[in-house]
A and B are shown apart, each in its own frame.
Chain A
Amino acid sequence: MISLRTYKKNRDAGSIDGKIRTADLCGGNSIWKDLYDSRLLWMRQLTVFRKTYKVGLVIRFFEPLLYLFAIGLGISTYVGKINGLTYIEFIAPGILITTAMWAATYETSFAIYTKIHYQRTYEAILATPMNVRSIIIGEMAWAGTKAILNMTIVMLPLALMGLFHSPYIIVAVLVGFLVGLIYSAFGIIATSFIRAMDHYGIYSTFFIMPLFMFSGVFYPIENLPGVLSFFVCLTPLYHGVEAARLLSVGDLGIMLHVVYLLVMVVLLVPLALHRISGRIVTA
């Protein structure tokens, strides 16, 4: 462990001791400059998206509706009301929020892996004034944008079907943005560990799918055994789902859930940046 002073002295002399840190790959840029530059990566994503969005949007539109109708309509006849809501009304906000999780997971798992290892997109971008931090912040912002976009697409038919009791459900899009940022960070952290594309199966089967199944989307978590419900309370998806459900019935008491999600964003984003830097630039 060297002192900060020695580290800065070495860095200024062009000499780095030991491991490469994210900051070493940022060439002395301030975080504000990198935040500003990240819009350029976001614009790249938008350019690619505009070429392929039609098929993608159709898939995003139908996938959650499938869950909703297959599980919702199928089971609702056997299930009574939950907290005054029909079963399909109960699961609709959860399905809406998980759309954000799926969007962010896709954008930051396969998509980023391909850009690092196959297309070498980041290598090309790093030859410009952009750096690793501006690239990854741009990716997360894009994942958040996709979360908002996909949620909006899914929200429209659900709202038209009268599954939400309050227009406050629109606020759930912002909650979904936070969920999108969090799951983009998880996706990036997973990508930093993954050594082959097939390994994403481990991430989706043992991390994303259990979250989807156990985070209170399909039933109240009070039904789970005590220990399990405690762990579910720690997951960001649960807080997103709860906030959306409250909003769907016109309850604005979502502050604690939002604060929890914000804290997770603050903790996970730097961790994701730290993890992925060494994968993008093998130094």
Chain B
Amino acid sequence: MVVSAKNLNKRYSSGTEAIRGISFDIKKGEIYGFLGPNGAGKSTLIKMISCYFPATSGDLTVLGLNPNRKASTIKRCLGIMPQDNNLDPDLTVFENLYLYANYFNIPRKKRLERIDELLTLVGLEHKRNARVTQISGGQQRRVVLARSIINDPKILILDEPSAGLDPHSRQVVWSIIRDLNAKGRTVILTTHYMKEAEELCHRIAFVDAGKIVALDTPEGHLAANNATDLEDVYLKTMGSSLEE
């Protein structure tokens, strides 16, 4: 298991209980999706796996290590794409990637090669020296994706990867996710977008009010709910309307 959680709880200092006794295992090489409405606890889960903050109680291991003791070691092997485009607005596309690689202590020569490779991968070679505030939202999203895989991560964690993307950028992002997965990388993602989950995920956990309410393969979910698509499953599982 690359990620293992047992009876995980998260209560914020504000008192909000975001995660209530969640347990799950994510296997090496799978694409695992967390689906659920806003405020369900998806981003909180992602942040705990990303070693951003600790759980309030319960056991969590990432790559067999405890995030509270070995956060730096774990994060060296993670690629994290957050929900918002938190690129450095003062810097160019190249500088953003260069500095980010620096935080991973990637040697200079390798860093430059990797940046060229990634800019080609996300189709932004021509925007290399543009300030990130001067490129479109979709292009920024692609830079964030490139940034998240600069360290060739073992686990790629994507929080709403295609939020706000045009169809072209979305296809670019999906194809990169599939390629990385084909190379054996584990992918964890959260999404609102049913088609994205259906297209990419091997297993989908429906999260609601801090709990996993259903966990199965996309086919398993369809069969269990006698549904034709995931949207139908979502509505039956959550008992509420889609927010999209």
Contact = CB atoms under 8 A, between A and B. Distances in A.
Interface in A186-235: none
Main SS at interface, chain A:
loop
A40 interface: yes
A105 B60 CA distance: 40
Interface of A: 11-16, 19-20, 24-29, 33, 40, 43-44, 47-48, 51-52, 119-121, 123-131, 278, 281-283
A33 B59 CA distance: 26
B53 A124 contact: no
Interface stretch (B83-91, B191-199, B201-209): B83-91
B84 to A, nearest CB: 6
Given A16-B56, A124-B147, A130-B103, 17 more contacts: A12-B68, A14-B55, A14-B66, A14-B68, A15-B56, A20-B53, A24-B53, A25-B53, A28-B68, A28-B70, A29-B71, A44-B102, A120-B84, A123-B82, A131-B71, A282-B12, A283-B13
Interface of B: 12-13, 50-61, 66-76, 78, 80, 82, 84, 86-91, 95, 99-100, 102-105, 147-148, 151
23 contacts: A12-B68, A13-B59, A14-B61, A16-B56, A19-B13, A20-B13, A20-B53, A24-B54, A27-B67, A27-B75, A28-B68, A28-B72, A44-B99, A120-B84, A127-B50, A128-B103, A129-B76, A131-B72, A281-B52, A281-B53, A282-B12, A283-B53, A283-B54
Scoring A20, A43, A123, A126 by chain B CB atoms within 10 A of each residue's CB, the highest score goes to A126
Contact of B58 (A15, A48, A124, A281): A15
A282 B43 CA distance: 13
